Amino acid sequence: MVKAMLRYIKSFLELLYPEKNICQICNSYEESINDTYICKSCLSKLEKIEMPVCKICNKSLSHNPDLIICDECVREPRSFEMSKSLFYYKRIAKKLIHDYKYCGKTYYYKLFAYLLVQYMKEINYKDFDYIISVPLHKIKLRKRGYNQSKLLAGKIGKYFNIPYIDALKRINNTKKQSNLSRYSRQKNLQNAFALTSNKMSELIAGADILIIDDIFTTGATVNECSKILKLHGANKVFVLTLAR
Average pLDDT taken over every residue of the chain: 88
Q: Return d(Cα 111, Cα 39) in angstroms, integer.
A: 11
Domain coverage including residue 35: 1-44
* 79 vs 155: CA distance, rounded Å: 25
| Helices 148-160 + 108-123 axis angle, to 10 | 50
The tally of CA atoms less than 13 A away on the side-chain side of residue 55 is 5
- The pLDDT value recorded for residue 216 is 97
Contact 212, 241 (CB under 8 A): yes
What residue type is assigned to position 233 of the chain?
Answer: G
pLDDT in tens, 199-221: 999 999 999 999 999 999 999 99
pLDDT at 243 over 60: yes
Do 13 and 119 lie in one domain? The reply is no
Per-residue pLDDT at 16 exceeds 90: no
- Residue 27 has a pLDDT of 87
Predicted pLDDT of residue 63: 74
Q: What is the pTM of this model?
A: 0.86
61 shares a domain with 97: yes
Q: Are residue 203 and residue 227 in the same domain, yes or no?
A: yes
Q: Is the per-residue pLDDT at 82 higher than 50?
A: yes
Q: What is the pLDDT of residue 9?
A: 52
Examine the domain organization and report whether 206 and 154 are in the same domain.
yes
CATH number of the domain bearing residue 182 = 3.40.50
Crossing angle of the two packed helices 108-123 and 91-102, in degrees rounded to 10 = 130
What digits encode the pLDDT tens for the residues 145-173? 999 999 999 999 999 999 999 999 999 76
Asked whether residue 40 falls in the same domain as residue 3, the answer is yes
At 17, is the pLDDT very low, low, confident or very high (cuts 50, 70, 90)? very low
**Same domain (yes/no): 108, 39:** no
Q: Quick check: 71 pLDDT over 80?
A: yes
Question: How many C-beta atoms lie closer than 10 Å to residue 31's C-beta?
Answer: 7
Looking at the 3D structure of the chain, how many domains does it have? 2
- pLDDT value of residue 65: 72
Whether residues 32 and 145 fall in one domain = no
Do 32 and 150 fall into the same domain?
Answer: no
| Cα 99 from Cα 69, distance rounded (Å) | 33
- Considering the domain architecture, whether residues 1 and 60 belong to the same structural domain is answered as no
Pair (109, 85) in one structural domain: yes
| 195: enclosing H helix or E strand | strand 193-195
CA-to-CA distance for 174 and 189, rounded, in angstroms? 7
Question: Residue 31 — φ and ψ, nearest 5°?
Answer: -65, -25
**Cβ contacts of 23 within 8 Å, gap of 6 or more:** 29, 30, 33, 37, 38, 39, 42
pLDDT of residue 177: 47
Nearest to 109 by CA among 68, 76, 66, 158: 158
Distances (CA, A) of 78 to 73, 108, 116: 7, 30, 23
Instruction: Please give the pLDDT value at position 21.
Output: 85
Instruction: Identify the band that residue 104 occupies on the pLDDT scale cut at 50, 70 and 90.
Output: confident
- Same domain for 25 and 94, yes or no, is no
Cβ distance 211 to 132 under 8 Å? yes
- For residue 62, pLDDT over 90 is answered with no
Mean pLDDT of 10-36: 75
